[in-house]
Amino acid sequence: MSELQEEPKKDRTGVELFAGAGGLAMAVHQAGFRPLLFNEFAPRACQTLEANGAKPRGDEERIPEPGEPWPLVAGDVQDLDMTYLRGHVDVLAGGPPCQPFSLGGIAKGDEDKRNMFPQMFKAMRQIRPKAVICENVVGLLRASFEPYLNYILREMEMPFELRDPKVTWQEHDQALIKARGRAAGDPAERYKVVMTRVNAADYGVPQIRHRIIIVAFREDLGVDIDQFKEDVRPQYSEEALFRSMLDGSYWERHRGVPAHVRARVMARVRKDVSLIPDGSKPWRTFRDAIAGIDENEGKPLPKIPWSKLDRREYRAGGFTDHIGWPDARIYKGHTPNELDRPAKTVKAGVHGVPGGESVMLTDDLETPGGTTYRHRYMTVRETARVMTFPDDWKLEGPRGEKMRQLGNAVPVKLGAVFADAVAKALDAAPGAQA
C-alpha cells in the first residue's frame, strides 16, 4: 500500500509545492501532516502522484476532509492561488527547481527564469503556514550565490515585507535588512529561519547527497529553535561504517559476499579509525539498500542475470521496475557506484541520467581469478531504494523519466528526519496548538 493512502494519526495539515515524485511529500505525510494540496508542473510526475493516491482538484477551491483524496493541481505554480488555505496549513513544503543553482547546470542563479523561490515566498504570504520546509542543492552555498542565498533567508524571515516589482532583489534585500531592525507589527508575519547543510548519508540514506534544508517557524508560535537543531543533528557516520567492517558486524549482515570482494573493500578501510563507539550508526551502503532496509527490510532484490540485460524481456523476482538495461559503460570522469559504499548522488541530468552515477560495479569478476569487476546500469528499483522510496511506491513513465523523477526527489528518509523534527517542534510550541 502506498504511504499516501494511509491517514496520519494527528490531523496536522500540509501543502506540497514542486511535489515531483513525492519523496518529501511522503516524509511530511508520515510525520503526521495530512495533505491539503499538491502542485507539480511535470506531467509524468503528476501521473506518479495520481498513481499513489492524489486526485486532480479541478477548479473547486475546497479543503478536503480527512479520508478524502488529496487534491493535485497540475501546472505552473505561478498561476496557483492558495489564499483559500490561509489559516488551515501547518507546514508548507517543497524543493524549488534546483537547475538555476546546480553545479551541474547552467548556474544562472537568481537571473534564471526557472528560479521558483519567489513562489515559495508568495505561498508563505497567501497561506501563512506555521512552518516551512524547503530543500535545495548545495550549489547555493557557492560564493557567487551567497548574496542571493542570504536574500532568500531574509525573504523567508520577512515574507510580508513586499517587494516592489520595479526594484531589484538587491534593493529589496537592503529594505529587508532595515526592516529586521524594526519590531514586527504582527509576530505571525515573521519567521525564525534555520538553514542546515546536510549529507543524506549522515541521516541513514544509502547515498552521498549534499543538500541544504531551510526550515522556518512562525515567530508567534514560540518554537524552541535550539531543540529543533538538536533533533536534526546527524546520527550516522562513515567512521561507524568502517568500525562495523573492522569488527565484522557489517560482513555478518552480508554473509554471501565473495572473499575477494571483502578483501578489496577491507584494503581501503581507513586504518586510523577509532574502534571506540561514538554513538553514531554506520553509514548505509548500496549493498544494504539492495538487501532491504527500513520499509523494505527482509526483501532482498534478486540479481539481474547477465544474459537478461534486456529491458523488453525480463523482470527480476517480480519486483516492479527491477529490470535490466544493456550497454553500461565506464569512462574517464564517470566512476561507477560500489556496493560497499553509499551510492553516488542520484541525478536527474539535463539530457538523461549521467553515466557514472547510474552504473554499478558488481561482485562478479570479468574472468575467474582476475581483478576487473563486471558492471551494469542500476535498475530503477535499485535507484529508488538508494532514494529510500518504499517498493510499493509507483513511478510512472518510461525508464528515463522514472530515473529523472528520482534524481529530482528528496530522499524519503532525509525528509523524514526534518519533517519529524518540525512535527515535534510544533507539538511542543505553546502557540501552535490552535
Catalytic residues: 98
Alpha-carbon distances, residue 304 vs 235, 254, 357, 364 (angstroms): 33, 18, 18, 12
What is the rounded distance in angstroms from the CA atom of residue 150 to the CA atom of residue 136?
14
What is the rounded distance in angstroms from the CA atom of residue 17 to the CA atom of residue 39?
5
DSSP 389: -
Neighbouring residues of 101: CB distance < 8 A, sequence distance ≥ 6: 107, 109, 115, 136, 137, 139, 140, 142, 145
What is the rounded distance in angstroms from the CA atom of residue 372 to the CA atom of residue 364?
9
Q: What are phi and psi of 272, to 5 degrees?
A: -95, 10
What is the rounded distance in angstroms from the CA atom of residue 325 to the CA atom of residue 314?
10
Cβ atoms 354, 383 nearer than 8 A: no
Cβ atoms 40, 20 nearer than 8 A: yes
What is the rounded distance in angstroms from the CA atom of residue 154 to the CA atom of residue 396?
38
DSSP bridge partners of 54: 70
DSSP bridge partners of 361: 375
Kindly write down the DSSP assignment for every residue of 23-52, as one continuous string: HHHHHHHHTTEEEEEEEE--HHHHHHHHHT
- Say whether 390 sits in a helix, a strand or coil: coil
Going by C-alpha positions, the residue among 164, 126, 64, 104 that lies closest to residue 345 is 104
Alpha-carbon distances, residue 333 vs 208, 326, 327 (angstroms): 17, 20, 18
Tell me how many degrees the CA angle 121-191-29 measures, rounded to the nearest 5. 75
The secondary structure of 85-123, three-state, reads HCCCCCEEEECCCCHHHCCCCCCCHHHCCCCCHHHHHHH
